[in-house]
Structure 1
Amino acid sequence: MKDLSLGPDSIEWAGTVYRTILATSETSGSMSIVDSVSPPNYGPPRHIHHDADETFVILSGEVELWLEGETTIKGPGETAFIPRGREHTFRVIGTQPSRHLVILTPGGFEGFFSDMAAGQFRIPEDMEQINESAARHHLEFTGPPLGA
C-alpha cells in the first residue's frame, strides 16, 4: 500500500515505501538518497554494503540500529553513519512508522529497491532472487532481522 505523501514515483516492497529523491545518475555516481517509510516492527536482515557508506537520517518514528553487536536507538532529527564493510541492520520500534532518508556513497543501491519492488520478492521464500540482486548491488545478507 503506497503512502501518497511520498508522491507518484514511490515504489513499495515488503510494506516499506521508497522514493529516490537523488539518483545516482544525477550525481555522476557519487551518491544516492532514498526517502523511505517503514512500518512498525519492520527491519531488513543483517547485511553488509561492500562498496558504499550508508547514512540514515531519521525524520519520524524511532529505529533500533544494530551495528556489529552494538545497539542504539535513533529518533527524529538523529543520524547514523555505517561505514562500508560493516555488518548492520535496523528495526522500527514503537507504534509509529519511521520515515528516514537512506544516503549511500557512492550511489547505485537504489536499484536494489527497484528490483525488489518489481519482483515483490519475499524473505525468506525468494532469497535466491533477492541474493542475485544483492550481489549486483554489492550487498551481502549475513543474518536474521532484529527480533527474529
Structure 2
Amino acid sequence: MTVLGPGEGPRLTALGSTYTTKADAAATRGGYWLVEEEFWADTTPLHSHTDAEEAFYVLSGEVAVWLDDAETTAGPGTFLLVPRGAPHGLRRLSDEAVRMLTVASPAGMEAFFAAVVEQGEEALLDDADRLIALAAAHGTEILGDYPVV
C-alpha cells in the first residue's frame, strides 16, 4: 500500500507543468500514472497519445481543452477523458496555475517528461525536430500549435 500526504511524491517539472507523482508504473504494475499536475504554461501544443488514454480532474483554476475539433472550458470539479489517439491540447485561462489530478493509462508517459528533463528542456525547445522525435519515441505525436479560437 502507498499513502502520500498533500504535496508528497516525486516531483518533475517539464514543458509547462509540474507533476507530483502519486502512483507510477512500478506501483501500478504498468496500469497507470497518477499525478497532481500544476499546469502553469499558457498552452500545450495540439498532440495525441498513440498508446494511452489521458484523464483530467480539475481541482482549481480554469483551463480550455481542445478536443473533438472544439474548445471546452473546464473549471473545478470538471472531469475530462481524452481517448487514445485523440488530438487535444490545453490552454490556461486563469491567472494562477491550473491544478488537476491527471491519469495516463497505461503508465509510461512519465518517461517522456523524465527524458525532457534529462536531455535539457531549453535545448529541446530550441530544436523542434528533436523534441518531436523524442515525443514520438514515447508515444506522443505533436501535431502543431494549440488551435486559434
Same fold flag (TM > 0.5): yes
Counterparts in 2 of 1:127-138, with a 5 A limit? 127-138=128-139
Q: CA deviation at 1:9?
A: 2.6
SS in 1 for 2:121: coil
Pick which of 58-67 and 23-32 moved more.
23-32
Structure 1 ranges of 4+ moved more than 6 A: none
Counterparts in 2 of 1:47-86, with a 5 A limit? 47-86=47-86
SS in 2 for 1:84: coil
Partners of 2:37 and 2:42 in 1: CA distance? 12
Q: Is residue 87 from structure 1 mapped to residue 87 from structure 2 by the alignment?
A: yes
Q: Number of paired residues?
A: 143
Contact 2:9–2:22 at 8 Å: present in 1 too? no
Consecutive unaligned residues in structure 1, runs of 5 or more: none
Q: Which residue of 2 aligns with 1:140?
A: 141
RMSD: 2.1
Contact 1:59–1:77 at 8 Å: present in 2 too? yes
Contact 1:112–1:137 at 8 Å: present in 2 too? yes
SS in 2 for 1:131: helix
SS in 1 for 2:47: strand
Using structure 1 for the length normalisation, give the TM-score: 0.85
CA 1:21 to 1:135, structure 2 compared with 1: closer, same or farther past 3 Å?
Answer: same
SS in 2 for 1:114: helix
CA deviations on 1:4-50 (whole Å, 9 max, x unpaired) are x74573122244211221101111111111221122x5221000101
Q: Which residue of 2 aligns with 1:116?
A: 116
Partners of 1:21 and 1:8 in 2: CA distance? 6
Counterpart code for 2:100: H
Q: CA deviation at 1:61?
A: 0.4
Q: Which residue of 1 aligns with 2:3?
A: none
Q: CA deviation at 1:71?
A: 0.9
Percent identity reads: 29
CA 1:57 to 1:8, structure 2 compared with 1: closer, same or farther past 3 Å?
Answer: closer
Partners of 1:109 and 1:143 in 2: CA distance? 19
Q: CA deviation at 1:146?
A: 4.6
